[in-house]
């Protein structure tokens, strides 16, 4: 295990229950389950269709993984190159070890500009560090401008998906929150608002427009940071991000250090992999790239905050570091049968789903109950690995992390049971003795159905138990073939 | 019509798997019957125990090292090892080398890499090694096939089981909606996350019931125990059967 610092769990997620407990609550929410099933199945089918039409998909995946691995293997060098390129382009580069440092940098810049509000581009990094809360504490309002993030913000809710953060809400719920909340923070929604998507989008457009035109500072993340050209890239669908990236005079981008790509050419596979994997589109509608400051065009003051916040800790693990390839496309969420049923909140982090189940315990360590439970929040079905555009072997990482959790000795009874099982299974004579328990039960039970077994409630509450046989295969073989 | 060239030249070992050996002996028995019918000489090395998957996947890979050692020692000399379980074969081919390396035993890892390519899931062995799809089976029932995740995504068995099932005489094979979705068993996941596991299994069981099948078939009894356990509790009246048992089924000895 690395001694590099892990990410501090934010106040929002401290004391989160373990995954199975949170999942039980989520499963009981039938409206949310319907919303999630519809949304994940729709996007799953879209992704499958646009991936299937690219014959060289597999080589694109390899190219994407290679570019990321190259960057991660020489991360220090590429970050220094990125800093030099950005600085040469007129940007100011800041380094943040953790969330507190990053938040302090952003607050300080906003204060220096004398503003009481910022507009925000959808960004996972700023959610991770809970920048909005930090700005609010400093008396600065942070307006989310991505439609779904706006919805989540109006609900006072937390995102439950990386790409579609309001996936757990449906149209009617959204109309209601627009009517109820928009007026409190700006232009109200039209009184005759319906739940038609076009009407909802129009209400959001009008509400956001006045913020775009008024704001003097914008905050973003970045999908990619190109080291050789000093270029940041934001990929989006709505154009609201571009409003933020081009209108305000000051732009602050919080960028995880794993976002760096060595060269401009590395964008070629990435810009094909990302939209097809995330929204199921051949190409995303808006790709904004900016390389520092340009006179009279776009923001005249450009800041880039390079954020570690546990990433160096992940990088130090030779198996685990592949999780840093993640480009936040959320394909793994959309194909995950567990995520589909529980939604994102059960994962206790802004990073839910399969990637969250491996990333959070690596970024934050495995001290908390929820982080210890996340590596087990998977049936290891492998759908995530197949869908991942940068070939992160999530099942392999889950198993590896289960090893980390088990080595901590977290589950004493389980550890004893596994050691006992290993002792029995490492010797065929011991196994044969243990099997007598099953065959004895088999003879006692006969052909009856077993509905309850003491201590096996987790199984028998909803499932019958297979009837044990009267004779094991091993016994049959010895009897029939006279060998043993 | 069944066409086979008996492969009596192969020394074939049956890896029954501990789960089948203990709980579902009919499956390895059917495997033996089927392989012998196709002309194979099948041995059951009695020193075999378990692939160790449950230990590895629960976080106890270190405890699985002696089982990996045993597997290599027991099966190392055979031309082919056949197991009626996609999951256990997946564990051997996908995890054994990792378990050895994690324990710092590079020697064992390289021994694993010698053996692993000769370890086959039943449908792979039939189609790829024996080169048969019509195994001379008879099973006059409406059947739907669930491709288990490890068969599908670790072993990439593809449509081999379906090729074999389509050739079964009398079978009415119906497509399972959402077939490639996990049933929710997942080993200890079924216990540690039993609510999610049951939610997944309930959807799978509903899809099975939708097909009007009398029998749900798969290449893993563990997944079938979960799906069948839910169907049983619902009183659905649908049997779950391992692929080996349908392929071994004949007019004389029907499953």
Minimum distance, in Å, between the CA of residue A17 and any CA atom of chain B: 13
Name every chain B residue with its beta carbon within 8 A of the beta carbon of A23: 193, 195-196
What DSSP state is assigned to residue A446? Answer: T
Alpha-carbon distance of A152 to A142, in angstroms, equals 13
Residue of B nearest to A383 (CA): B153
Alpha-carbon distance of B76 to B63, in angstroms, equals 21
Please list, in sequence order, all residues whose beta carbon lies within 8 angstroms of the beta carbon of residue B212, skipping any fewer than 6 positions away: B142, B174
Do the chains contact at A466 and B56, CB–CB below 8 Å?
A: no
C-beta of residue A30 within 8 angstroms of C-beta of residue A24: no
State the average pLDDT for chain B: 96
CATH value at residue A197: 3.40.50.10420
A131, part of any domain: yes
Residues A145 and A285 in one domain: yes
Alpha-carbon distance of A69 to A129, in angstroms, equals 25
Q: What are phi and psi of A253, to 5 degrees?
A: -115, 125
Residues A135 and A279 in one domain: yes
Alpha-carbon distance of A225 to A289, in angstroms, equals 9
Residues A168 and A305 in one domain: yes
Name every chain B residue with its beta carbon within 8 A of the beta carbon of A463: 198, 201, 226, 229-230, 232-233
Reported as type and span, the H/E element at residue A452 is: none
Domain assignment of residue A448, given as a range = 422-481
Residue of B nearest to A19 (CA): B193
A157, part of any domain: yes
Q: How many domains does chain A have?
A: 2
- State residue A320's pLDDT score: 94
Minimum distance, in Å, between the CA of residue A476 and any CA atom of chain B: 8
Name every chain A residue with its beta carbon within 8 A of the beta carbon of B226: 463
A385, part of any domain: no
Paired tokens of B186: 């997942």
Alpha-carbon distance of A333 to A350, in angstroms, equals 13
Domain boundary among A311, A334, A353: A311
Domain B142-248 falls under CATH 3.40.50? yes
Residue of B nearest to A434 (CA): B22
Alpha-carbon distance of B19 to B242, in angstroms, equals 13
Largest distance between two CA atoms of chain A? 91
Paired tokens of B58: 């629960």
Residue of B nearest to A18 (CA): B193
Alpha-carbon distance of B253 to B247, in angstroms, equals 11
Domain boundary among A296, A311, A326: A311
Residue of B nearest to A376 (CA): B189
Q: What is the pLDDT of residues B4-18, one digit of tens each?
A: 566 778 899 999 999
> Which of A27, A375, A381 is opposite residue B195, by nearest beta carbon?
A27
Alpha-carbon distance of B95 to A343, in angstroms, equals 30
Name every chain A residue with its beta carbon within 8 A of the beta carbon of B46: 428, 474, 477-478, 483-484
Q: For chain B, what percent of residues have pLDDT higher than 70?
A: 98
Do the chains contact at B23 and A461, CB–CB below 8 Å?
A: no
Q: What is the CA radius of gyration of chain B?
A: 18
Do the chains contact at A402 and B58, CB–CB below 8 Å?
A: yes
Residues A302 and A440 in one domain: no
| Every domain of chain B and the residues it spans | 11-129, 142-248
Reported as type and span, the H/E element at residue B218 is: strand B215-218
A455, part of any domain: yes
A344, part of any domain: no
Among candidates A215, A21, A54, A221, which has minimal Cα distance to A129? A221
Edge-to-edge strands of the sheet including A224-226? Answer: A260-261, A224-226, A231-236, A286-290
Do the chains contact at B232 and A396, CB–CB below 8 Å?
A: no
A456, part of any domain: yes
> Which of A382, A438, A474 is opposite residue B154, by nearest beta carbon?
A382
Distance of alpha carbon B100 from the chain centroid: 23
Do the chains contact at A469 and B23, CB–CB below 8 Å?
A: yes
- State residue B3's pLDDT score: 52
HEC readout, B53-104: HHHHHHCCHHHHHHHHHHHHHHHCCCCEEEECCHHHHHHHHHHHHHHHHHCC
Do the chains contact at B46 and A478, CB–CB below 8 Å?
A: yes
Calculate the alpha carbon distances from A314 to A318, A324, A331 in Å. 8, 7, 21
C-beta of residue B72 within 8 angstroms of C-beta of residue A428: no
Do the chains contact at A426 and B70, CB–CB below 8 Å?
A: yes
C-beta of residue A6 within 8 angstroms of C-beta of residue A364: yes
Do the chains contact at A466 and B201, CB–CB below 8 Å?
A: no
Alpha-carbon distance of A380 to A328, in angstroms, equals 20
C-beta of residue B59 within 8 angstroms of C-beta of residue A419: no
A158, part of any domain: yes
Alpha-carbon distance of A191 to A289, in angstroms, equals 38
Among candidates A257, A295, A274, which has minimal Cα distance to A60? A274
Q: What is the pLDDT of residues A289-320, one digit of tens each?
A: 999 999 999 999 999 999 999 999 999 999 99
C-beta of residue A305 within 8 angstroms of C-beta of residue A100: no
Please list, in sequence order, all residues whose beta carbon lies within 8 angstroms of the beta carbon of residue A296, skipping any fewer than 6 positions away: none
Q: What are phi and psi of B136, to 5 degrees?
A: 75, 30
Minimum distance, in Å, between the CA of residue A273 and any CA atom of chain B: 21
Pairing of the two strands A231-236 and A224-226: antiparallel
Placement of tokens 């094979």 in the chain: B173
pLDDT, one tens digit for every residue, chain A (484 residues): 457 889 988 878 888 899 999 999 999 999 889 989 999 999 999 999 999 999 999 999 999 999 999 999 999 999 999 999 999 999 999 999 999 999 999 999 999 999 999 999 999 999 999 999 999 999 999 999 999 999 999 999 888 899 888 888 889 999 999 999 999 999 999 999 999 999 999 999 999 999 999 999 999 999 999 999 999 999 999 999 999 999 999 999 999 999 999 999 999 999 999 999 999 999 999 999 999 999 999 999 999 999 999 999 999 999 999 999 999 999 999 999 999 999 999 999 999 999 999 999 999 999 999 999 999 999 999 999 999 999 999 999 999 999 999 998 767 788 888 999 999 999 999 999 999 888 888 888 887 888 888 778 889 889 999 889 999 999 999 999 976 5
- State residue A13's pLDDT score: 84
Do the chains contact at A405 and B197, CB–CB below 8 Å?
A: no
Q: Mutating which of A380, A437, A475 best tests the B interface, going by the most B Cβ atoms within 10 A?
A: A380
Write the burial class of residue B15 (CB in 10 Å: 0-12 exposed, 13-18 middle, 19+ buried).
buried
Strand partners, A231: A226
Strand partners, A225: A232, A260
Alpha-carbon distance of A216 to A113, in angstroms, equals 8
A240, part of any domain: yes
Name every chain B residue with its beta carbon within 8 A of the beta carbon of A471: 25
**Collapsed DSSP state (helix, strand, coil) of residue B48:** coil
Q: What is the pLDDT of residues B140-169, one digit of tens each?
A: 999 999 999 999 999 999 999 999 999 999
Residue of A nearest to B26 (CA): A473
For the stretch A26-35, contacts whose Cβ atoms lie closer than 8 Å and that sit 24 or more positions apart, written own/partner, are: A26/A341, A26/A342, A26/A343, A26/A345, A26/A346, A27/A341, A27/A342, A27/B195, A27/B196, A27/B199, A29/A343, A31/A170, A32/A168, A32/A343, A33/A341, A33/A343, A34/A170, A35/A167, A35/A168, A35/A169, A35/A170
Reported as type and span, the H/E element at residue B121 is: strand B119-121
C-beta of residue A151 within 8 angstroms of C-beta of residue A177: yes
């Amino acid at each position: 295990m690395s001694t590099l610092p892990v990410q501090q769990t934010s106040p929002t997620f401290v004391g989160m229950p373990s995954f199975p407990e949170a999942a039980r609550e989520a499963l009981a929410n039938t409206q949310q389950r319907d919303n999630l099933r519809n949304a994940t199945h729709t996007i799953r089918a879209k992704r499958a269709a646009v991936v299937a039409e690219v014959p060289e998909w597999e080589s694109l995946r390899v190219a994407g993984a290679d570019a990321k691995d190259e960057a991660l293997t020489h991360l220090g060098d590429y970050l220094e190159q990125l800093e030099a390129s950005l600085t040469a382009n007129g940007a100011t580069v800041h380094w943040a070890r953790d969330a507190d440092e990053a938040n302090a940098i952003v607050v300080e810049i906003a204060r220096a500009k004398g503003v009481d509000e910022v507009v925000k581009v959808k960004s996972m990094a700023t959610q991770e560090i809970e920048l909005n809360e930090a700005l609010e504490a400093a008396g600065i309002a942070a307006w989310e401008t991505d439609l779904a993030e706006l919805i989540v913000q109006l609900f006072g809710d937390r995102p439950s998906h990386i790409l579609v953060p309001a996936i757990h809400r449906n149209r009617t719920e959204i109309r209601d929150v627009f009517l109820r909340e928009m007026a409190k923070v700006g232009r109200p929604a039209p009184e005759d608002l319906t739940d038609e998507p076009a009407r909802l989008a129009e209400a959001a457009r009008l509400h956001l427009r006045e913020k775009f035109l008024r704001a003097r500072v914008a905050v973003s993340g970045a999908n990619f940071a190109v080291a050789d050209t000093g270029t940041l890239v934001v990929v989006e669908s709505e154009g609201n991000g571009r409003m933020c990236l081009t209108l305000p005079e000051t732009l602050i981008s919080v960028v995880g250090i794993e976002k760096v790509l060595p060269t401009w050419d590395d964008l070629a596979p990435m810009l094909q992999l990302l939209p097809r994997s995330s929204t199921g589109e051949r190409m995303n509608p808006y790709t904004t790239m900016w390389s520092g400051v340009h006179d009279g065009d776009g923001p005249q003051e450009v800041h880039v905050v390079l954020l570690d916040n546990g990433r160096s800790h992940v990088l130090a693990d030779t198996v685990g570091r592949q999780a840093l390839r993640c480009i936040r496309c959320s394909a793994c969420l959309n194909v995950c049968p567990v995520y589909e049923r529980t939604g994102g909140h059960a994962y206790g982090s802004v990073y839910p789903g399969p990637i969250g189940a491996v990333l959070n315990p690596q970024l934050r360590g495995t001290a908390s109950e929820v982080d210890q439970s996340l590596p087990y929040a998977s049936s290891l079905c492998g759908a995530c690995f197949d869908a991942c555009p940068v070939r992160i072997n999530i099942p392999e990482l889950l198993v590896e992390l289960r090893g980390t959790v088990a080595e901590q000795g977290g589950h004493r009874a389980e550890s004893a049971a596994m050691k006992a099982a290993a002792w029995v299974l490492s010797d065929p004579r011991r196994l044969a003795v243990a099997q007598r328990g099953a065959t004895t039960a088999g003879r006692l039970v006969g052909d009856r159905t077993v509905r309850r077994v003491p201590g096996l409630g987790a199984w028998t509450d909803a499932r019958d138990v297979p009837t044990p046989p009267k004779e094991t295969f091993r016994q049959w073989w010895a009897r029939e073939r006279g060998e043993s | 019509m069944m066409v086979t060239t008996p492969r009596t030249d192969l020394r074939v070992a049956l890896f029954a798997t501990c789960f089948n050996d203990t709980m579902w002996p009919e499956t390895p028995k059917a495997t033996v019957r089927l392989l012998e019918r196709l002309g194979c000489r099948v041995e059951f090395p009695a020193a075999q125990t378990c692939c160790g998957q449950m230990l590895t996947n629960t976080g106890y890979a270190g405890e699985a090292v002696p089982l990996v050692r045993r597997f290599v020692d027991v099966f190392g000399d055979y031309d082919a090892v056949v197991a009626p379980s996609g999951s256990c074969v997946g564990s051997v081919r996908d995890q054994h080398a990792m378990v050895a390396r994690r324990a710092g035993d590079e020697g064992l890892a390289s021994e694993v890499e010698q053996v692993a390519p000769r370890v086959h899931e039943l449908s792979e062995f039939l189609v790829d090694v024996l080169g048969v799809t019509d195994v001379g089976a008879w099973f006059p029932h409406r059947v739907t096939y669930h491709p288990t995740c490890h068969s599908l995504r670790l072993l990439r068995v593809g449509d081999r089981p379906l090729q074999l099932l389509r050739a079964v005489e009398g079978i009415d094979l119906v497509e399972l909606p959402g077939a490639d979705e996990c049933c929710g068993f997942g080993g200890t996941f079924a216990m540690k996350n039993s609510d999610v596991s049951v939610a997944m299994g309930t959807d799978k069981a509903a899809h099975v019931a939708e097909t009007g099948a009398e029998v749900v078939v798969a290449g893993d009894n563990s997944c079938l125990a979960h799906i069948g356990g839910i169907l049983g509790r619902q009183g659905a009246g649908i049997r779950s059967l391992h692929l080996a048992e349908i392929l071994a089924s004949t007019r004389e000895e029907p499953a």
